Structure 1
Amino acid sequence: MLWIGGPPGAGKTTMARLLARRYGLRRYHADVHTWEHRDRALAAGHAAAARWERLAPVERWSRPPDELLAMSLHHERGPMVAEDLRALPRAPLTVAEGTPVTPGVAGAGDRSVWLMPTPEVQRDRLAERGIGAGVSALYRLLIEEIEAQVARAGARTLAVDGTRSVADTFAQVEKVFADALAVGPLAGSAAERARLLRYANRAVVRQHAAYFARPWTVGDLAGTVRLFACECGDADCDAEVPLALADFPDPPDGLAPGSDEPAFPPVLAPGHRRLWGGPAGAVPG
């Protein structure tokens, strides 16, 4: 397991996506398990989770800072992330990233790093996303909380101050994980890479399905378009495919009969083709 933590706006998702595509890793993105984790907390009778669901969306973000932090389930979700990861296959290597990835979950060794943006960088990046005042207040709390947790653990950090390009930051992350990446195990075949991409893509659909199941939400899978990773299996492919969530093909994860190749029709970017035998069908972008 490789771990990338940090507050919102740090660049965790970008770094994990680049690592996974370049090296053939499974990518676990904690954000796309948010509502699944909230459902677990509700089932366990967690008071702050229940309070979040009861409040009207506009009311949630006017709560006092300590209540905002409690309702975020920041501390509770870390063990849920660990539980999710224990259920995954041991190979190939997984890179797990997200705000709930804390030193208490990931440890402070050479397989973990926290990206720590300056307040100015975080503010600018969140402004680009159109984040409201209430959400921004929670995110400022999270940067303070995570900084304190990382400092207590003496964990490794990379400063994100806006002076490095994405490529330069990625080179630093690669350097942190160089020894682990040299050992692996990594995905070798196009078919295995395609299965890893399908795992990450399917998690996006399930996240939205759990969200739209709430009585206070507006919208549905048919009317929501998201970007999915192209599943051609090419190690150099970094294409993304816009697709309505309801159109995402979600058959079982099975293999083609007598083969170790995926049985699902892949999501493909225009002009791309699957690099394994597999099924005849495909879902074009």
Structure 2
Amino acid sequence: MSKEAGIFWIGGPAAAGKTTVSRLLARKHGFLWYSVDAHTFTHEQRAAAAGRHVLGTGPGDFDRGPMILEDIHALPVDTSVVVEGAFVTPKIAGVAANAVWLMPSRDEQLARLEHRHPGGVHKDYVWGWNLVQSQLEGTNATVVVVDGQTVEQTLTAVEQSFGTTLESSPAARTTKARQSLIRISNHQLAKQATERLRLGLNKQNCVFDCECAQANCTEVVELAVKEIPTLLAQAPPSIVSPEHSKLT
């Protein structure tokens, strides 16, 4: 990552809309999307190698902050990066204009989680709301309350929060450059999904970003994990939604 490139941080608890909004923000503005969740197993392996974690015992309680920062600064890109995840805290991101937290009320979060997980909501999701709220208390962090908002409304609110910095930050300007950024994120999603499947923790399918690389694209592509190695071996755009295949 070049010294000129910027970092945009988006935090919040489960079901706040972090992932969806971050992916769309990155695509629209030609930035790289970095999902903290997609690096979970990579971080576990690094922590285990350092003697701070035992593989196979869950996500662990080691500090992922330094790893996230190391990852970002080691990225082979000259564009800005959108970093999102529940592990995005004011301690890591700061509370300047390039950081925002999406917060649903407790009732809103529960309603979204019940819709997402009709079989039952895990208590850790609700516990996470309390954790994020406690991290924000007493800070000047920018918070967007997402209750009743559509994805488009939340995206607009985040863009307004980041202001003119979005337009002045280094970005991919060509389709090929945008496709390369999306491929980096898709490759990490595939790595995470493959590891989870190997451990019996993942479904057979995973959701990837459409590599048509159009700024207004909102499509994702659900693929069987076993299909991914073949597709990733091809130059982008090899992962494209049927609706956008004619654009590539």
Q: TM-score, normalised by structure 1?
A: 0.76
In our comparison, the structure showing a higher alpha carbon Rg is 1
The answer to whether the aligner puts 1:270 opposite 2:216 as a matched pair is: no
- Which structure has the higher relative contact order (CA within 8 Å, separation 6+)? 2
Secondary structure of the structure 2 residue equivalent to 1:9: coil
Residue number in structure 2 paired with 1:93: 80
Alpha-carbon distance, 1:131 to partner = 7.3
Number of residues of Structure 1 aligned to a counterpart in Structure 2:
239
> What is the 5 A alignment of 1:1-285?
1-46=7-52, 49-50=53-54, 53-54=56-57, 72-73=60-61, 76-89=63-76, 91-130=78-117, 136-162=122-148, 164-214=149-199, 217=200, 224-248=204-228, 249-251=231-233, 263-264=235-236, 266-270=238-242, 272-273=245-246, 275=248
Alpha-carbon distance, 1:139 to partner = 2.1
Q: What is the distance in 1 between the residues matched to 2:172 and 2:236?
A: 18
Residue number in structure 1 paired with 2:3: none
5+ residue gaps, structure 1, are: 55-59, 61-70, 253-262, 276-285
Q: What CA deviation, in whole Å up to 9, does each residue of 1:85-112 have, x standing for no partner?
A: 1111452111100001111111110000
Cα 1:131–1:37, aligned 2, differ >3 Å: closer, same or farther? Answer: farther
Q: What is the distance in 2 between the residues matched to 1:13 and 1:239?
A: 13
Secondary structure of the structure 2 residue equivalent to 1:267: coil
Secondary structure of the structure 1 residue equivalent to 2:242: coil
Q: What is the distance in 2 between the residues matched to 1:202 and 1:131?
A: 30
Residue number in structure 2 paired with 1:257: none
Residue number in structure 1 paired with 2:4: none
Q: What CA deviation, in whole Å up to 9, does each residue of 1:49-104 have, x standing for no partner?
A: 43x835xxxxx8xxxxxxxxxx653x612222112111114521111000011111
Q: What is the distance in 2 between the residues matched to 1:125 and 1:39?
A: 32
Q: What is the distance in 2 between the residues matched to 1:218 and 1:245?
A: 13
Alpha-carbon distance, 1:129 to partner = 2.3
Segments of 4+ moved more than 3 angstroms: none
| 2:179–2:236 CA contact under 8 A, matched in 1 | no
Percent identity for Structure 1 against Structure 2: 36
Q: What CA deviation, in whole Å up to 9, does each residue of 1:222-266 have, x standing for no partner?
A: x812222221222222222222122122239xxxxxxxxxx4452
Cα 1:22–1:218, aligned 2, differ >3 Å: closer, same or farther? Answer: closer
Alpha-carbon distance, 1:44 to partner = 2.3
Q: What is the distance in 2 between the residues matched to 1:39 and 1:12?
A: 25
Q: What is the distance in 2 between the residues matched to 1:234 and 1:9?
A: 26
Q: What CA deviation, in whole Å up to 9, does each residue of 1:203-226 have, x standing for no partner?
A: 111002222343xx267xxx8122
| 1:233–1:274 CA contact under 8 A, matched in 2 | no
Cα 1:145–1:199, aligned 2, differ >3 Å: closer, same or farther? Answer: same
Give RMSD over aligned pairs.
2.4
Q: What is the distance in 2 between the residues matched to 1:274 and 1:168?
A: 27
Cα 1:265–1:141, aligned 2, differ >3 Å: closer, same or farther? Answer: closer
Q: Which amino acid is 1:40 matched to?
A: R
| 1:231–1:274 CA contact under 8 A, matched in 2 | no
